[in-house]
Amino acid sequence: MTKSIAVTLHDVEPATFERCALIRDWLDDLGVELVTLLVIPAADLHPVGDRAPELTAWLRERALAGDEVAQHGFQHLQLRQARLPRQVVARLQGDRVAEFVGLGTSDTRRAIDAGRRILKLAGLDARGFVAPAYAYTPALRATLAERFTWWAGLWRVHTIAGPRTSPALCLGTSGPVKRATSPALVRAGALMAGRTLRLDLHPADLDHPRHVMAVERVLDRARRRTSVTLSQLAEAD
């Protein structure tokens, strides 16, 4: 049985471009051949292609090299609060970035479609989607099923054929408890990973030496695994 590793880089947008390019080079040095790049279409309500053509050119180059570009929300910011207790859960999931929590069906579809148009105009073909903070709603799930070949949650990667169980290992930077405990949890989770090891990275991870050391330890142990994108993971038998 071939074992694989699926590394996903979140929050790719103009403000994080230099950091994301640095992380991608670092991953290459660590033996990760393929990465899924989660692009925020309009982080500051300006289309990514207009605001940062050098970023979209880099993304196109990465796609030609085998990486996958996926859509990561629309602006990666929650603007409308949901009712309790869902709003409490949203804050626990991702503080203020649970973008689709609180949105109805029509607003959800408009945000998804606007993001898709922005990426297409920038020459980026996004076949998949990951919600900010992995915060999904029934309206979002229904919309994604109609528009994308796959979408990923924290525990599964979903396709038309059904879900594939594959939990993501994530480092935390949003609070002292997450910063203190997540490196050890990620290392332990990687040791227990079966056929697929799924690792999530964020630009802010490089700000914390223990996070960097944890990633290097995990990837060093995973060098015999085959790198895959989330699309390839979703399509695997």
Supply the CATH number for residue 209's domain.
3.20.20.370
More confident residue, 85 or 213: 213
Instruction: Record the tokens describing residue 106, joined without a space.
Output: 């029509």
Region 21-37: what's the mean pLDDT?
A: 97
Q: Is a pLDDT exceeding 60 seen at residue 32?
A: yes
DSSP β-bridge partners for residue 198: 6, 168
Could you tell me the pTM of the whole model? 0.93
Q: Is a pLDDT exceeding 70 seen at residue 156?
A: yes
Instruction: Record the tokens describing residue 35, joined without a space.
Output: 């990465």
Question: Into how many domains does the chain fold?
Answer: 1
Rounding to the nearest 10 degrees, give the CA dihedral for residues 199, 162, 42, 11.
Answer: 0
Domain that holds residue 46: 4-235
- β 168-170/162-165 pair status: unpaired
The pLDDT, as a whole number, for residue 88 is 52
Centre a 10 Å sphere on the Cβ of residue 155 and count the other Cβ atoms it contains.
Answer: 12
Could you give the 3-state DSSP secondary structure of residue 1?
Answer: coil
* pLDDT per residue as tens digits for the range 80-92: 675 666 665 555 5
